[in-house]
């Protein structure tokens, strides 16, 4: 059966560990209201976008199930606390993508490859092999997502580079020298919002799906070089 509609699913996976409290988490809380406002002016794009938000600290929680943004009345506010379990985040988003895409198919929808914006300000507190294993499982399924990581605090660039998928299409982003974590996350959320719009617009023009807005000039967050030898101060 041909599809009822062709959708573009986005998952925002956001670190809500204690270090994100204050301005950073406020910026994240603004994503959904801002997106709703912008999509109101772009009805044909709004029909395509499906949006989900997951927060993680010592564990991961689904805060906004994959939805048409018209149906998200009052987005739940994220609060910041606890540790930074990447493994819990990757496991939950993988399970969600599996069940969400199954449900979309069952409802006769077709979809572009899901996109994950992974926003963190710290290093994983799980054992290395544990979060690596969860990440590998996430990006090797049939409906593997595109993953773009943003380090908005003290995250090691080497760690961030490992979270990019596929590596020939996307970059990791990190805080530029001379900018604060709070600037970085503000810009990250703007880039995220513009990229949702650019992706939806792109599909209208026959493009493949998720793209980062090519016209968004970032200052506070910059792409991490893919070079193996990244100088990193301990």
Quote the strand ranges of 47-141, DSSP E.
49-56, 60-67, 109-111, 115-120
Should residue 213 be labelled a site residue for another protein when binding is judged by CB under 8 A?
yes
Q: Which stretch binds another protein (CB under 8 A): 56-64, 125-133, 147-155, 191-199?
A: 191-199
Should residue 79 be labelled a site residue for another protein when binding is judged by CB under 8 A?
no
Shortest CB 136 distance to another protein, Å: 20
What is the distance between the alpha carbons of residues 180 and 118, in angstroms, rounded to a whole number? 19
Q: Give 161 or 199: the residue with its C-beta nearer to another protein.
A: 199
Query: Which own/partner contact pairs does 133-136 have at CB distance under 8 Å and 24+ positions apart?
Result: 133/87, 134/86, 134/87, 134/90, 134/91, 134/94, 135/86, 135/90, 135/162, 135/163
How many chain residues touch another protein (CB under 8 A)? 37
Which of positions 102-121 make contact with another protein (CB under 8 A)? 105, 108, 110-113
Should residue 5 be labelled a site residue for another protein when binding is judged by CB under 8 A?
yes
Shortest CB 68 distance to another protein, Å: 10
Compute the radius of gyration of the chain from its Cα atoms. 17
Concatenating the DSSP letter of every residue in 90-102 gives: HHHHHHHHHHHHH
**What is the binding site for another protein (CB under 8 A)?**
1-7, 41-44, 46-48, 105, 108, 110-113, 143, 194, 197-198, 201-209, 211, 213-215
């Amino acid at each position: 059966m041909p599809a009822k509609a062709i959708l573009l699913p986005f998952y925002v996976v956001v670190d809500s560990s204690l270090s994100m409290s204050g301005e950073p988490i406020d910026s994240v809380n603004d994503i959904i209201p801002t997106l709703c406002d912008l999509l109101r002016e772009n009805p044909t794009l709004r029909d395509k976008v499906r949006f989900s938000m997951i927060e993680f600290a010592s564990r991961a929680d689904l805060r906004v199930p994959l939805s048409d943004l018209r149906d998200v009345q009052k987005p739940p506010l994220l609060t910041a606390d606890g540790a930074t379990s990447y493994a819990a985040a990757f496991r939950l988003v993988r399970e969600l993508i599996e069940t969400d895409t199954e449900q979309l198919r069952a409802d006769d929808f077709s979809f572009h490859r899901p996109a994950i914006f992974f926003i963190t300000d710290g290093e994983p507190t799980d054992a290395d092999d544990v979060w690596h294993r969860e990440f590998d499982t996430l990006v090797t399924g049939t409906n593997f997502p595109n993953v773009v990581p943003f380090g908005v605090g003290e995250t090691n660039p080497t760690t961030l580079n490992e979270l990019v998928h596929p590596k020939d299409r996307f970059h990791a982003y990190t805080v530029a020298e001379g900018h604060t974590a709070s600037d970085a996350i503000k810009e990250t959320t703007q880039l995220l919002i513009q990229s949702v719009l650019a992706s939806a617009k792109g599909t209208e023009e026959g493009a493949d799906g998720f793209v980062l807005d090519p016209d968004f000039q970032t200052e506070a967050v910059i792409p991490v070089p893919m070079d193996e030898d990244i100088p990193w101060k301990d």
